[in-house]
């Protein structure tokens, strides 16, 4: 039996790495050959700085209202854009969704047979927890229980 003092302590990150075989966001895994970098029928390329692009967001001089096509006439959303923001887009991290490789993965896009040819004009309600404090709140009742 080994005493606790004789075993080296490892960080949670080191313990997690030892339990997994590949690390999709770890560029070291690509270099060490652990990460799967090729899929049948999908071209793959090694990471390169050519796919890292700088970008800059420059807002409009003043916020512009954007009319949203909706069942409610005149619905508008105004986004107050922050000042200039600089960022980097790294296309080396672009990936296909899991549903591109198997029919057994969930896909965020509904298949054509699940799309409706009509608009669903049902309204949304504010969740109970987000209602304005102090406003009249409906009583919450549990079926089968008396208050």
Here the tokens at position 128 are 């109970």
pLDDT averaged over every residue in the chain: 67
> For the stretch 105-141, what's the b/e string if a residue is b when 16 or more beta carbons lie within 10 angstroms of its beta carbon?
eeeeeeeeeeeeeeeeeeeeeeeeeeeeeeeeeeeee
In sign, the C-alpha dihedral spanning 84, 87, 95, 51 is positive
Of residues 60, 49, 121, the one with CA closest to residue 90: 49
Q: What is the pLDDT of residues 39-78, one digit of tens each?
A: 677 777 777 888 888 888 877 677 666 555 556 666 666 6
Rounded CA separation 44/99 (Å): 17
pTM beyond 0.75:
no
Distance between alpha carbon 103 and the CA centroid of its chain, in Å? 21
For residue 34, the tally of other CB atoms under 10 A from its CB is: 15
Report the C-alpha gap between 71 and 51 in whole angstroms: 42
Alpha carbon separation from 105 to 97, 99, 108, 115, 131 (Å, rounded) = 9, 5, 10, 19, 36
Q: Residue 5's pLDDT is what?
A: 46
Instruction: List, for residues 95-116, the tens digit of each pLDDT value.
Output: 788 887 788 888 887 778 888 8
């Amino acid at each position: 039996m080994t005493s606790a003092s004789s075993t080296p302590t490892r960080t949670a990150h080191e313990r997690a790495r030892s339990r997994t075989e590949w690390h999709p966001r770890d560029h070291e895994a690509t270099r060490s050959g652990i990460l799967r970098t090729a899929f049948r029928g999908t071209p793959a390329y090694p990471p390169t700085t050519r796919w890292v692009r700088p970008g800059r967001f420059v807002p409009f001089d003043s916020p512009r209202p954007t009319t949203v096509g909706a069942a409610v006439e005149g619905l508008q959303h105004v986004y107050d854009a922050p000042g200039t923001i600089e960022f980097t887009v790294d296309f080396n991290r672009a990936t296909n969704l899991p549903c591109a490789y198997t029919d057994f993965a969930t896909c965020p896009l509904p298949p054509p047979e699940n799309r409706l040819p009509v608009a669903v004009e049902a309204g949304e309600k504010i969740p109970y927890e987000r209602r304005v404090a102090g406003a009249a709140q409906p009583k919450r009742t549990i079926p089968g229980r008396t208050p």
